[in-house]
Amino acid sequence: MIENGTKNKKALHIEDLSKNFGGLNILDQLSMSVTPGERRAIIGPNGAGKTTLFNVISGELKACKGSISLFGEEVIDMPNHQRARRGLARSYQKNNLFLNLSVLDNLALVLQRKHNHEGNWFKHRSPKAFPLLYKEAESFLESWNLAKKSHVKVAELSYGEQREIEILLGVAADPKILLLDEPTAGMSVAETQHMLRFLENFPVDMTMLIIEHDMEIVFGLADRITVLYYGKVLAEGTPEEIRADSRVREVYLGSEVSEKYA
């Protein structure tokens, strides 16, 4: 069982993963693995299948073929809530929040799950009844500078603030693996810098996969980079290796990056 041995060491191990829509192969026998604690950036041109890959890993889309294991456990046939309960969390490319609920209530939905209060149907969810939950919520909101907004409806926040909550809902679950789909999409330069500082300060043992277009974040944050191209892995390696890879330059990075980082 040598193969299983190596699988077990992986936070995420994907083999021969395929997904097609209407005859079009979005993911084409894709294989990759991520070691625990690694920060892995997924890059590739539009339509490379990055978001589809996330949706298949999280279980929101069903794979057509292949295997996905999380810390050695096969999850390909699991519904997405069970994968989440095994330590997988994610954020979305487009904000996917509880818009009519307050910031605190958004966060509480994640935290009550994490603290296993989600089956409690008789206690008023209040700071008095659930002190730990609310203390943690408070400290999250404090460190994300959202404490003043905790009772504001998410729909009434600015886009940048909503984007932060999008990421916060992922990280607050204290996941073993966090999938971030373009965390800085639509953010201003200042907001992006702000977000980058958060990302850098995430717990070191949290495995992180991040789809990102901002090359500064990709090269600044990632331990390793996977380049997707038409549903296949085109290249994989350290930032230096990817920067030096001629095929990658050709299909994706283009002249802009070569000039900037060469």
Partner 1 sequence: MNRKNLLAMSVLFLISLVLPWVIAVYPLGIVIEILIYGIFASSLNLLLGYSGLVSFGHAAFFGIGAYTASIFAQNVSANIFFTLPAAVIVSLLAALIIGFFCTRVSGFYFLMLTLAFAQMIYAIAHQWESLTGGSNGLSGIPVPQLWSGFSFEDQKLLYYLILIVFLLVIFGIRRFIASPVGQTLIGIRENEGRLKAIGYNIRNYKLLAFVIAGGLGGVAGALYSYFNGFVSPHEVYWTVSGHAIIMVIIGGAGTLIGPTLGAGFLIILQSVVSSYTDRWYSIVGLTFIAFVLFAPKGIMGLISLLKLPGKKEVTQNFNVEGEKA
Residues contributing to the site for partner 1 (CB under 8 A): 58, 60, 79-82, 84-85, 89-90, 92, 96-101, 105, 108-110, 112-113, 117-126, 130, 153, 169, 173
- Beta carbon nearer to partner 1, 71 or 92: 92
For the chain, the C-alpha Rg in angstroms (whole number) is 19
Scan for tokens 């203390």, then name that residue.
135
Cross-sheet strand order for the sheet of 88-90: 88-90, 177-181, 207-211, 39-43, 224-229, 232-237
Least separation in angstroms between residue 59's CB and partner 1 is: 8
Least separation in angstroms between residue 104's CB and partner 1 is: 11
Least separation in angstroms between residue 84's CB and partner 1 is: 3
Least separation in angstroms between residue 123's CB and partner 1 is: 6
How far apart CA 215 and CA 153 sit, in angstroms, is: 33
- Beta carbon nearer to partner 1, 85 or 260: 85
- Beta carbon nearer to partner 1, 183 or 239: 183
Least separation in angstroms between residue 218's CB and partner 1 is: 24
Cross-sheet strand order for the sheet of 73-74: 24-34, 12-21, 65-70, 73-74
Phi, psi dihedral angles at 107 (to 5 degrees): -65, -40
- Beta carbon nearer to partner 1, 84 or 233: 84
Find, among 105, 130, 221, 114, the residue nearest to 174 by Cα.
Answer: 114
- Beta carbon nearer to partner 1, 124 or 197: 124
The tokens for 70 are 């999380």
DSSP-assigned beta bridge partners for residue 179: 90, 209
Least separation in angstroms between residue 106's CB and partner 1 is: 9
- Beta carbon nearer to partner 1, 54 or 229: 54
For residue 21, the Cα-to-chain-centroid distance in whole angstroms is 23
**Three-state SS for 226?**
strand
Q: Are strands 177-181 and 224-229 parallel, antiparallel or unpaired?
A: unpaired
